Amino acid sequence: MPVRGQTLDRSAAEEIARTLRAVADPTRIQMLGLILASPTGETTVGELADALGLRQPTITHHVHILVEDGVVVKEPIGRQVRLSIAPARRASVEDLLR
C-alpha cells in the first residue's frame, strides 16, 4: 500500500507560484522553448528577437523577468550575453513546456 505524500506547505507553494507567474506568458514560453531547443542550450537576445519576430527591447523585458526569478541565467561572453536555463530549473521548465 503506497503511503500518502504530503501537501505542499504554504511557503513552498508561494515559491512555485512565483516561478509559474514568471513563466506564464506566451512570449516567455516561446523564448524558453527556443533556449531548450537550441543545440548548445544557449542563445542571445538577438537570436530570440529574430526567431520570434519581436524587437530586442521586448525580448530584454521578458528576459529580465525570467532572470529575476532565476529561471534564466545571463552569462556575458565577450561582447555578447548568452542566455541559458538555470541548471536546477531545467527539469521543471522542460516539464512546463511538454
Partner 1 sequence: MSRERSQPRPIDQADALRRAAQISAAADADRLRILSSIAAEPAGGLGAHQIARRVDAEEHTVDLQLDALEAAGLIERVDGETVLLTADAWMRFGRLLAAAPGQAGLRRVGDAGLPPTVERIARQLQYRYASVFSPETVRKYVAESYALLAERARIRTYLPTLTTKYATDRLSALATASGLSPKGTPEVLFVCVHNAGRSQLASSIMQHIAGDRIHVRSAGTAPAPAVEPAIRRLLDEIGVPFAQEFPKPLTTEVVQASDVVVTMGCGDACPVYPGRRYLNWELDDPAALPIDGARRVRDEVYDRVERLTASIT
**Which phi and psi angles does 51 have, rounded to 5°?**
-65, -35
Considering the rule CB under 8 A, would residue 30 count as an interface residue with partner 1?
Answer: yes
Considering the rule CB under 8 A, would residue 37 count as an interface residue with partner 1?
Answer: yes
Q: d(Cα 35, Cα 9) in Å, to the nearest integer?
A: 31
Binding region for partner 1 (CB under 8 A) out of 61-69, 70-78, 79-87, 90-98: 90-98
Considering the rule CB under 8 A, would residue 88 count as an interface residue with partner 1?
Answer: no
Q: d(Cα 23, Cα 3) in Å, to the nearest integer?
A: 32
Q: d(Cα 48, Cα 33) in Å, to the nearest integer?
A: 10
- Name the residues that contact partner 1, by CB under 8 A: 1-10, 12-14, 16-17, 20-21, 23-30, 33-34, 37-38, 51-52, 91-92, 95-98
